[in-house]
Amino acid sequence: MNKAGNHTISIIIRTSFVLMLLCGVLYNLAVTGIAQVIMPNKADGSLVYNEDGGVIGSKLIGQSFADPKLFHGRVSSIDYDADGSGTPNYAPSNPDLLTRTQESIEAWKTNNPKVPVDQLPIDLITNSGSGLDPHISVKAALAQVPRISELSGMSEEELETLVEEHTEGRLLGLFGEPTVNVLLLNKDLKDIAS
């Protein structure tokens, strides 16, 4: 190989090394460092801790709550596995989707006999796009109040107040609908009940 070819290869290798160092290491360290200073809780994953200091989850990732005394979140076709978000892109006529939806409706009827199916909020039987949504609508939280009241012994008024305290408004006051973070709501519900 001639001198010009060796020089070109040398430039390519040095440029690649410098770009890997800048983009792959220094940029990531700078962004992480800035985030840790400006918003450390968010940079660490918006973790939620129990009274003993143990991590019980993240405000950003939904969880499955099977206990009927607790509020339930949205259906997750990936079982809230944060390793890979997503959901099947089923058409409304897909038999698997119809079966899963019908099973969710039947479970609702069994577990919430005081709330008729025509008052069942749609977000309690549908997936979010990521399968990890930690929020439900205010209507979905309030629809579960009769069941939780009956099983926990708390009054419906107490539970409605708790839902109201955990209602998050629209983004920038304009976008989306008010929502309730199920993990934070259940954490406070457990604290009050114990």
- 3-class SS of residue 130: coil
Residue 11 has pLDDT above 70, yes or no: yes
Burial 128-150 (b: 16+ CB within 10 A, else e): bebbbbbbbbbbbbbbbbebbbe
pLDDT at 28: 93
pLDDT at 112: 92
- DSSP string computed for 44-78: TT-EEE-TTS-EEEETTS------TTS----B-TT
| Tokens representing residue 154 in the block | 């708390």
Entry pTM: 0.78
Residue 86 has pLDDT above 80, yes or no: no
Give the CA-trace dihedral at 108, 114, 120, 123, to 10 degrees: -60
Residue 89 has pLDDT above 80, yes or no: no
Higher-confidence residue of 138 and 77: namely 138
- pLDDT band per the 50, 70, 90 thresholds, residue 79: confident
- Average pLDDT over every residue of 142-147: 96
Least confidently predicted of 2-11, 22-31, 128-137: 2-11
Measure the CA–CA gap between 180 and 162, rounded to whole angstroms: 10
pLDDT at 8: 87
Instruction: Determine the residue type at 25.
Output: V
pLDDT at 168: 92
The per-residue pLDDT for range 107-123, each reduced to its tens digit, is 999 999 999 999 999 99
Instruction: Determine the residue type at 113.
Output: P
Residue 16 has pLDDT above 70, yes or no: yes
Residue 149 has pLDDT above 70, yes or no: yes
pLDDT at 51: 82
**Percentage of the chain modeled with pLDDT above 70:** 98
- Average pLDDT over every residue of 33-56: 85
Residue 1 has pLDDT above 70, yes or no: no
